[in-house]
Amino acid sequence: MAVLMPDYDSSPRGLADAARHRERIKEAIKRNLPDIISDEAIITRRENQIVKVPIRGIKSFRFIHRQSDGASGGFGSGETEEGKVIGRRSKPGNDPAGKAGEEPGEDYMETEIDLAELIEMMLADLGLPNLRQKEVRETKILKGWKIDSLEKHGVRPRLDKKRTIKEAIKRTEAIIQALSQMSRKSEEECRAALDAAGGDPARALAILDAGPVSGKPGDPNAIFIDSSDLRYRTITEDTEFHSNAVILAMMDVSGSMGTMKKYLARSFYFWMTSFLKTIYQRVEIRFIAHTTEAKLVDEHEFFHKGESGGTSCWSAYDLATELIDLEYPTSRWNVYPFHFSDGEDWDVQRTVKSLEKMLERGVANFGYGEIQAEHSISALMDAFKQKIPLQSRIMEGFSFYEGLWGTSPMLGVVIKDKLDLYPALRVFLNTGKRGGGLQRFTG
Partner 1 sequence: MNSVDIKRLGKADELIKRIGREFGLDFMPQEFDVVPAQKMLEIMAYRLPVNYSHWSFGRDYEIERTRWEYGYAVPYEVVFNSNPARAYIMETNPSAIQILVMAHVYAHNDFMKNSRHFQATRRDMITSASEAASRFRAYEQDYGSDEVERLIDAAMSIEWNIDPDELLRPETEDEARERLYGWLKATPTGGGFDDLIPEKKRPQPAEKQKLRDKTPPEPTIDLLKYIIDSAPRRLREWEKDILTVVRNQALYFMPYRRTKIMNEGWATFWHEKIMNRLFAEKFLSPEEHGYYNLYNARVKAHNPRTINPYLLGWALFQNIEHRWNTGRFGPDYEACTSAAEKRDWDRHLNRGIEKIFEVRRTHMDWFFIDEFLNQEVIDDLELFIYQEVDKTTHLDLEVKETDWRKIKKVLVQNLMNWGIPRILVLDGNYHNSSQLYLKHEFEGLPLDDEYCRKTLEHVHFLWGRPVYLETNSLRTGGPITYYIDGDGIRVRTG
For residue 27, the Cα-to-chain-centroid distance in whole angstroms is: 24
End-to-end CA distance of the chain: 73
Q: How many residues bind partner 1 (CB under 8 A)?
A: 65
Residue ranges in 10-49 that form contacts with partner 1 under rule CB under 8 A: 10, 12-24
Per-position x/- string for 51-80, each x denoting binding to partner 1 as judged by CB under 8 A, each - no binding: ------xxxxxxxxxxxx-xxxxxxxxxxx
Q: Partners of 282 in the beta sheet?
A: 244
Rounded to the nearest 10 degrees, the angle between the axes of helix 348-360 and helix 313-326 is 20
Does position 104 interact with partner 1 (CB under 8 A)? The reply is yes
Which is closer to partner 1, CB of 107 or CB of 325?
Answer: 107
Does position 82 interact with partner 1 (CB under 8 A)? The reply is yes
Q: Select from 50, 89, 124, 309 the one that contacts partner 1 (CB under 8 A).
A: 89
Does position 221 interact with partner 1 (CB under 8 A)? The reply is no
Report, in Å, the least distance between residue 260 CB and partner 1: 22
For partner 1, which stretch binds (CB under 8 A), given 105-113, 169-177, 194-202, 376-384? 105-113
Residue ranges in 110-129 that form contacts with partner 1 under rule CB under 8 A: 110-111
Residue ranges in 267-326 that form contacts with partner 1 under rule CB under 8 A: none
Alpha-carbon distance of 348 to 379, in angstroms, equals 8
Q: Select from 100, 159, 169, 223 the one that contacts partner 1 (CB under 8 A).
A: 100
Does position 211 interact with partner 1 (CB under 8 A)? The reply is no
Residues in the chain: 443
Which is closer to partner 1, CB of 1 or CB of 155?
Answer: 1
Alpha-carbon distance of 380 to 348, in angstroms, equals 7
Element (H, E) at 340: strand 334-341
DSSP string, 95-162: SSS--TTT-TTSSEEEEEEEHHHHHHHHHHHTT-TT--GGGS--EEEEEEEEEEEEES---GGGB-HH
| H-state helical runs in 145-258 | 161-183, 187-196, 201-210
Does position 99 interact with partner 1 (CB under 8 A)? The reply is no
Which is closer to partner 1, CB of 70 or CB of 215?
Answer: 70
Does position 184 interact with partner 1 (CB under 8 A)? The reply is no
Alpha-carbon distance of 30 to 120, in angstroms, equals 11
| H-state helical runs in 256-347 | 259-279, 299-304, 313-326
Which is closer to partner 1, CB of 72 or CB of 221?
Answer: 72
Which is closer to partner 1, CB of 71 or CB of 326?
Answer: 71
For residue 126, the one-letter residue type is L
Report, in Å, the least distance between residue 33 CB and partner 1: 19
Q: Which residues bind partner 1 (CB under 8 A)?
A: 1-6, 8, 10, 12-24, 57-68, 70-91, 94, 100-101, 104-105, 107-111
